[in-house]
Structure 1
Amino acid sequence: MNDYLVKALAFDGQVRAYAVRSTETVSEAQRRHYTWPTASAALGRAITATAMMGAMLSDEQMLTVKIEGDGPIGHILVDGNAKGEVRGYVANPQVHFDLNEHGKLDVRRAVGTTGSLTVIKDIGMRDFFTGQVPIVSGELGEDFTYYFSSSEQVPSAVGVGVLVNPDNSILAAGGFIIQLMPGTADQTISQIEKRLSEIPPVSKQIEKGLTPEELLTEILGNENIKFLEKMPVSFTCTCSKERFGDAIIGLGKEEIQDMIETDGHAEAHCHFCNEKYLYTAEDLEALKQEAV
Structure 2
Amino acid sequence: MDYMIRGNLKNRPIRFFVISAKDTIEKMRQIHEAMPNASACAGRSLMATALIGYTMKNDDDIVTTILNCDGEIGKVTCTANNKGQVKCDIINPKTNIYLNELGKLDVKKVVGNGTLRVIKDIGLREPYVGETDIVSGEIAQDYTYYFAMSEQTPSVVSLGVLVDKDKFDIMYAGGLIIQLLPGNTEEDIEYLEEKVSHLKYMTTLLSEGKTPEDIIKEIFNDEEIEITDKQDVVYFCNCSREKIEKVVIALGKKELEDIIATDHKITLKCHFCGKEYTLSEEELNNLLKEA
Fold-level similarity (TM above 0.5):
yes
Q: Cα distance, 1:254 vs. partner?
A: 5.3
Q: Is the 8 A contact 1:72 1:111 kept in 2?
A: yes
Q: CA 1:252 to 1:130, structure 2 compared with 1: closer, same or farther past 3 Å?
A: closer
Q: Is the 8 A contact 1:61 1:81 kept in 2?
A: yes
Counterpart CA distance in 1 for 2:111 and 2:250 is 36
- Give 5+ residue unaligned stretches, structure 1: none
Q: CA 1:133 to 1:249, structure 2 compared with 1: closer, same or farther past 3 Å?
A: closer
Q: Is the 8 A contact 1:192 1:220 kept in 2?
A: no
Aligned residue type for 2:120: K
Q: Is the 8 A contact 2:35 2:97 kept in 1?
A: no
Counterpart CA distance in 2 for 1:254 and 1:52 is 43
Q: Does residue 34 in structure 1 map to residue 33 in structure 2?
A: yes
Residues 248-268 of structure 1: CA distance to partner in whole angstroms, max 9, x if unpaired? 244456543432211011011
Counterpart CA distance in 1 for 2:140 and 2:251 is 41
Q: Does residue 275 in structure 1 map to residue 267 in structure 2?
A: no
Q: Cα distance, 1:127 vs. partner?
A: 1.1
Residues 219-268 of structure 1: CA distance to partner in whole angstroms, max 9, x if unpaired? 12212110001111111112112210233244456543432211011011
Counterpart CA distance in 2 for 1:264 and 1:8 is 55
Q: Cα distance, 1:83 vs. partner?
A: 1.4
For 1:104-253, list aligned pairs within 5 A: 104-112=104-112, 114-165=113-164, 166-251=166-251
Match of 2:64 in 1: 64
- Return the TM-score normalized by structure 1: 0.93
Residues 31-67 of structure 1: CA distance to partner in whole angstroms, max 9, x if unpaired? 0000000110000000000000001112111111111
Alignment size in residue pairs = 289
SS of 1:198's equivalent? coil
Q: Is the 8 A contact 2:174 2:206 kept in 1?
A: yes
Match of 1:80 in 2: 80
Q: Does residue 98 in structure 1 map to residue 98 in structure 2?
A: yes
Counterpart CA distance in 2 for 1:20 and 1:127 is 29
Match of 1:7 in 2: 6
SS of 2:223's equivalent? coil
Counterpart CA distance in 2 for 1:288 and 1:183 is 58
Aligned residue type for 2:133: P
SS of 1:176's equivalent? strand
Q: Is the 8 A contact 1:11 1:188 kept in 2?
A: no
Q: Cα distance, 1:116 vs. partner?
A: 1.0
Identical aligned pairs, as a percentage? Answer: 38
Counterpart CA distance in 2 for 1:9 and 1:102 is 34
- Return the TM-score normalized by structure 2: 0.94
Residues 84-135 of structure 1: CA distance to partner in whole angstroms, max 9, x if unpaired? 11111221101132321122110011111x2111111111011111111111
Counterpart CA distance in 2 for 1:281 and 1:185 is 66
Q: Cα distance, 1:285 vs. partner?
A: 3.5
Aligned residue type for 2:160: G
Counterpart CA distance in 1 for 2:288 and 2:133 is 45
Q: Is the 8 A contact 2:12 2:188 kept in 1?
A: no
Q: Is the 8 A contact 2:98 2:109 kept in 1?
A: no
Counterpart CA distance in 2 for 1:284 and 1:260 is 7
Match of 1:53 in 2: 52
Counterpart CA distance in 2 for 1:124 and 1:13 is 31
Counterpart CA distance in 1 for 2:241 and 2:132 is 36
SS of 2:124's equivalent? coil
Of stretches 275-284 and 117-126 in structure 1, the one that deviates more from structure 2 is 275-284
